[in-house]
Structure 1
Amino acid sequence: MAEDVSADAHENGVRRADLRRARARVVGVLSNVVRWVGNAGAALLAIHVVFAIGGANPDNGIAKFVASWAEPLALGFEDLFMPDDPKLAVAINYGIAALFWLIATAMAVRILRAIA
């Protein structure tokens, strides 16, 4: 009888440890996905800034692709400041949006890792 109780306790301990490891793996994968998505968004915004400042051809396929993704990723920052120079406006506003993505991503990853 005592052996049955200790065997059940051992099995429950093993199951709990397995669940903890599984949860840690899931949270680790999720935090990596969040980090990659956030960093990719910030990178697209930064590339858009470089293209705008550098005077990239707006009809080029790559420039169109980056601009089409940068617009929704700007999350309302695209017209936060309205300087006279349109290149400066893109640099400031989309640069702030990129910083926002980096900070929000870092915070989300920390929260996810705290859960694990």
Structure 2
Amino acid sequence: MAQHAESESKRPDLRPRLVGAIASVVRWIGLIFALVLVVHVVLTVGSANPNNGITNFFADVADPLAIGFKDLFTPSDPKLFVLVNYGLAALFWLIVSGVLVKIIRRFAG
């Protein structure tokens, strides 16, 4: 029995590494979501061809990521509409992922 307990104490604690990996994944997901939204804003404000495949791709992916921000403000200028609403959604994902990372690391001890 003493040997079993001793071998367990020599085993490296994987919990900090696992928590660090989970926190990194959460951080990267937030960054990728924000990046997609920002690219959509840049393409829209920059007057990219709306029929281009890249522009369509980012618009299609950004729509569900904008969640409740998609139509929060309704300015008459379509570029300002995208800039404000999708820009706020990008900030939201950065803030939420940052807060989640802190919570994950705090609960990990």
Q: TM-score normalized by structure 2?
A: 0.90
Q: In the alignment, which residue of structure 1 is the partner of 2:10?
A: 14
Runs of 4+ in 1 over 2 A off after TM superposition: 7-15
- Note the alpha carbon deviations across 1:52-96, whole angstroms, 9 max, x for none: 111111111111110111000001101000011111010000000
Is residue 39 from structure 1 mapped to residue 39 from structure 2 by the alignment?
A: no
Q: Which is higher, the Rg of structure 1 or of structure 2? A: 1
Higher helix share: 1
Q: CA RMSD in A?
A: 1.5
Is residue 48 from structure 1 mapped to residue 33 from structure 2 by the alignment?
A: no
Q: In the alignment, which residue of structure 1 is the partner of 2:78?
A: 86
Q: TM-score normalized by structure 1?
A: 0.85
- Note the alpha carbon deviations across 1:13-45, whole angstroms, 9 max, x for none: 335xx3xx2111111111111111110000010
Q: In the alignment, which residue of structure 2 is the partner of 1:28?
A: 20
Shift of 1:8: 5.4
* Identical pairs, percent: 50
Question: In the alignment, residue 11 of structure 1 is paired with which amino acid?
Answer: S
Q: In the alignment, which residue of structure 1 is the partner of 2:62?
A: 70
Aligned length: 108
Q: In the alignment, which residue of structure 1 is the partner of 2:92?
A: 100
Q: Mind listing any 5+ residue stretches in structure 2 that lack a counterpart?
A: none
